[in-house]
Amino acid sequence: MGEQGGVQLLISLLALALAASAQPTKSQVLYTQADDEWAAGVASTAEGIVKTPSSCVPENTVILTMSNGYHWGLLDLKLAKILDRKCFFDRYLVITIDADAHAKCNNHTAIQHCFLYHTELAPSDWKKADYYAIVYIKIKAMKALMERGLPAFFFDTDIILFKVPPFPPPNSYDLAYQMEHFDTACELKSGTQGGLYESTNKSCRGHGINTGQFGLWPSNVTITLLSETFKCGQWSTSPRHRGPPIGTQDCMNGVAKRMPHMRHLMLPSHFGGHCFCRGLLPKLRLTTYHANCVTSENAKMRVLLDAAKNGRTRELDGW
């Protein structure tokens, strides 16, 4: 190869490297024998947890969160307002993704149940490093609980709990979820904030499933929903897929559209999301606040600190 050919080859290789760096990082979503054993352990732990009666979490129901050491500060902030609610922590299971998070979980003053993932994954902001491998852990865990017949709710780490959430009546839903898009200003204007979506001005209603706050009732329907959502993630991060990876939210939205008989329950607007609540905090009465629509750990921390300072707790009990 001549000097000119060598230069052209070098230019081509540099161009390929730059193109690759511009694409979202693919951390492959896999399900291995280790996952099978881990999921069985999660389910068995959950079966033990639900044996403890709770005055604030429904019968047989488990509440899940997962965190690594990198995001643990968000989890501390998440729980700060409810540390005295033992009835919540009796049913609360934290999936830890690295040794740092697991040590912090075991040393926490209120958390009673911690379960370590079998493989340590890299600290990751949105769509970076091991992001996709991490977010699909929640699908693995929730599926394991559905297969054991345990209702479950999942709350991402970047969500403040202003109070122990009210839960929907048993067997009134297959999938309950925070909406991705909602016109909160419209709802405030109509005077219905804090009520059920069913009683809200219909012109204010939103759309889209957000997997940061969601609950599932165990059935073949929800097992199928999770199985197909996971398959979507596997395919989108595999070498044979040339497009960008697809996260749990987009996959679940796509799968749900193919399941017309699934019972949807949109969580009331006091399960807040930053996408549709930003700028309105002083006017809201909240059960939760999700720092979605910002991507870095620092940005999420700023959003949640603002919410903790300026948001008000919804005082009404019940769904």
E strand map for 14-170: 62-67, 92-96, 113-116, 152-155, 159-161
pTM: 0.87
E strand map for 80-237: 92-96, 113-116, 152-155, 159-161, 175-181, 207-216
Q: How far apart are CA 23 and CA 54, in angstroms?
A: 46
Please, which residues have CB within 8 angstroms of residue 264's CB and are 6 or more apart in sequence? 173, 174, 175, 176, 177, 256
Domain residue ranges in the chain: 27-313
Q: What tokens does 19 get?
A: 């193109």
Q: Are 102 and 72 in contact (CB under 8 A)?
A: no
Q: How far apart are CA 285 and CA 127, in angstroms?
A: 31
E strand map for 82-169: 92-96, 113-116, 152-155, 159-161
- Domain at 27-313, CATH homologous superfamily: Spore Coat Polysaccharide Biosynthesis Protein SpsA; Chain A (3.90.550.10)
Q: What is the chain's pLDDT, residue by residue, as a tens digit (319 residues)?
A: 555 555 455 544 444 444 443 344 567 888 999 999 999 999 999 999 999 999 999 999 999 999 999 999 999 999 999 999 999 999 999 999 999 999 999 999 999 999 999 999 877 766 666 889 999 999 999 999 999 999 999 999 999 999 999 999 999 999 999 988 777 777 777 665 554 433 345 566 677 899 999 999 999 999 999 999 999 999 999 988 888 989 899 999 999 999 999 999 988 878 989 988 888 888 888 999 999 988 888 999 999 999 999 998 987 766 5
What is the side-by-side order of every strand in the sheet holding 271-273?
159-161, 288-290, 271-273
E strand map for the chain: 62-67, 92-96, 113-116, 152-155, 159-161, 175-181, 207-216, 264-266, 271-273, 285-286, 288-290, 312-313
